[in-house]
């Protein structure tokens, strides 16, 4: 179907294709895509999408973009979408997180000319999504979601799609999907895990929920979860009846997953680095994160290369690490650690189950803390500019004489009452605040912390000239101080070595 519309910039009439819906959209625009790369924050950037497409992926999503930031920040739009336009990178769906219908619509209108559909993220379970009130934390606000999807479906020139997580109850999940379909959703991606299944508690995705949704709606459905090999893709389609399968973690550890092969890790790394050079700019942190994923198993064997990978600051340095990895792993090695392939072969990462808590605390938390300490060892033990983080480098430039090595930092004795560092010469082993309170309450003097107003007030307390508890104005205090000073000159010698002026 065709229609005509006027171009606001030129005033000319142009012929455009009418917006396709449902299965027509999947068949014609998405070319019946079955192998899909998931939207991944800081991970599904242009270079990685192109690498995945060259190895079997038929449809890709952008990383999740924040609708409100996308609307107000032109640089954010350029860096995350406008500068990543590439003919090879189609079909493409742009995903947004949002909780306001108007803001979501504005962002979608700004993005619709650069993609084939707009996706609403209703599946992110991370803490940042909870604080921002988006993603899966909107799944109970059906009235709001219906309004967001309906408005986008009415105003956009491209289809609106949604990515959701399931509820524990299959029936509620089905009603949820039907509500989105009725509001105007043209394609639904169902992640077969609940809101609480994340991190160490990820668990197994429920294909039963996905199958029930597929039977209940009349729009294309993509399945997400439990995809580690091409055989999993085929089995998922057969068991659930979905139109396509989306992969996230599996794709990060093996970009050739949809080809059904497992190449050496350095081959994927070198090809990815070539794509990054061909399609700049790409943030170095994104590239480094991808290499850590690709080399996850082999870096357990070659710990020195892991440290080198963490330190290098250029693409050339990353390429050198890849060459070293290739040279070390040229000779075939036997499988180790229960892996299905040798460690230098692309293969899925299976998250270990959470450990049982021990009597004196959570063992898992201590392991996480230990890992974090190991990751920061390079920065903490060596204060060179090559190993310090960007934040510490900035701090060092502002404070060149400051010591950033924790082992060499001075150790302070804590205050007996509050835990803050105590005064070095305080006779009561207290910090300044606690010492001041003690001097007022107990009529005691500390040569280290005593100031003019402390001494005068203490003397007033001694001679009942000022009630221990009660406000006093500045003017009244100055008058009383003057009389106290005269009284001291006549009758007393100060017990403090400091003179009163």
Residue positions annotated with a catalytic role: 124
Residues in the chain: 501
* 441 conformational bin, left if phi > 0, alpha if psi -120 to 50, beta if neither: alpha
Distance CA 343, CA 337 (A): 9
Helix-helix angle 432-442:452-462, to 10 degrees: 20
CA torsion, points 131, 136, 138, 142, in degrees to nearest 10?
Answer: 180
Give kind and range of the element (H or E) at residue 222. strand 221-224
- Beta-bridge partners for 93: 61, 117
DSSP H helical segments within 191-294, as ranges?
Answer: 207-216, 230-240, 249-253, 265-278, 284-294
Residue 259 gets which letter from DSSP? G
Distance CA 121, CA 39 (A): 9
Q: Which of 145, 131, 195, 199 is nearest to 175 (CA)?
A: 145
Strands 221-224, 187-191: pairing is parallel
Distance CA 34, CA 436 (A): 72
User: Residues 364, 271: contact at Cβ < 8 Å?
Assistant: no
Q: Which of 82, 135, 86 is nearest to 110 (CA)?
A: 82
Q: Which residue reads 């001075």 in tokens?
A: 410
Distance CA 375, CA 389 (A): 12
- Angle, alpha carbons 394-395-401 (nearest 5°): 125
For the record, the structure tokens of 53 come out as 């497409």
For 438-501, the DSSP string reads HHHHHT---TTT--HHHHHHHHHHHTTSS-SSS---HHHHHHHHHHHHHHHHHH---SSSSPP-
If DSSP states are collapsed to H, E and C, what string results for 82-120?
HHHCCCCCCCEEEEEECCCHHHHHHHHHHHHHHCCEEEE
User: Residues 25, 185: contact at Cβ < 8 Å?
Assistant: no
């Amino acid at each position: 179907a065709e229609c005509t519309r006027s171009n606001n910039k030129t005033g000319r009439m142009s012929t455009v294709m009418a917006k396709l819906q449902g299965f027509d959209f999947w068949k014609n625009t998405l070319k019946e895509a079955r192998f899909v790369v998931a939207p991944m924050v800081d991970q599904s950037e242009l270079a990685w999408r192109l690498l995945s497409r060259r190895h079997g992926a038929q449809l890709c999503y952008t990383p999740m973009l924040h609708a409100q930031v996308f609307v107000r920040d032109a640089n954010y739009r350029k860096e995350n979408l406008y500068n990543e336009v590439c003919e090879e990178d189609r079909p493409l769906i742009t995903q947004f997180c949002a909780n306001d219908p108007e803001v979501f619509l504005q962002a979608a209108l700004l993005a619709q000319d650069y993609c084939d559909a707009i996706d609403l993220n209703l599946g992110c379970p991370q803490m940042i999504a909870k604080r921002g009130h988006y993603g899966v934390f909107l799944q109970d606000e059906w009235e709001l979601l219906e309004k967001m999807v309906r408005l986008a479906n009415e105003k956009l020139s491209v289809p609106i799609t949604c990515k959701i997580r399931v509820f524990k109850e299959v029936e509620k999940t089905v009603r949820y999907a039907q509500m989105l379909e009725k509001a105007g959703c043209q394609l639904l991606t169902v992640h077969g895990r609940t809101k609480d299944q994340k991190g160490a508690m990820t668990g197994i995705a429920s294909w039963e929920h996905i199958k029930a949704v597929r039977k209940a709606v009349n729009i294309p459905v993509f399945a997400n979860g439990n995809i580690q090999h091409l055989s999993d893709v085929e089995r998922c389609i057969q068991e659930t009846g979905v139109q396509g399968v989306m992969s996230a973690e599996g794709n990060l550890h093996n970009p050739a997953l949809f080809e059904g092969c497992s190449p050496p890790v350095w081959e994927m790394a070198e090809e990815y680095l070539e794509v990054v050079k061909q399609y700049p700019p790409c943030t170095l942190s994104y590239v480094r994160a991808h290499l850590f994923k690709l080399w996850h198993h082999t870096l357990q064997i070659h710990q020195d290369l892991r440290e080198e990978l963490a330190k290098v600051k250029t693409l050339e340095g990353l390429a050198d690490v890849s060459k070293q990895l290739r040279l070390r792993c040229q000779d075939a090695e036997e499988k180790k650690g229960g892996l299905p392939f040798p460690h230098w072969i692309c293969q899925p990462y299976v998250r270990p189950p959470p450990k049982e808590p021990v009597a004196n605390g959570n063992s898992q938390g201590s392991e996480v803390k230990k890992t974090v300490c190991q990751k920061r060892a390079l920065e903490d033990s060596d204060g060179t500019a090559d190993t310090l983080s960007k934040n510490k480098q900035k701090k060092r430039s502002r404070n060149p004489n400051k010591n950033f090595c924790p082992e060499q930092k001075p150790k302070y004795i804590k205050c007996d009452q509050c835990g803050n560092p105590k005064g070095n010469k305080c006779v009561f082993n207290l910090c300044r605040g606690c010492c001041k309170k003690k001097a007022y309450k107990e009529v005691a003097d500390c040569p280290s912390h005593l100031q003019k107003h402390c001494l005068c007030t203490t003397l007033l307390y001694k001679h009942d000239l000022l009630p221990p508890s009660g406000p006093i104005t500045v003017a009244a205090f100055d008058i009383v101080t003057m009389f106290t000073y005269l009284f001291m000159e006549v009758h007393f010698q100060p017990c403090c070595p400091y003179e009163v002026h």
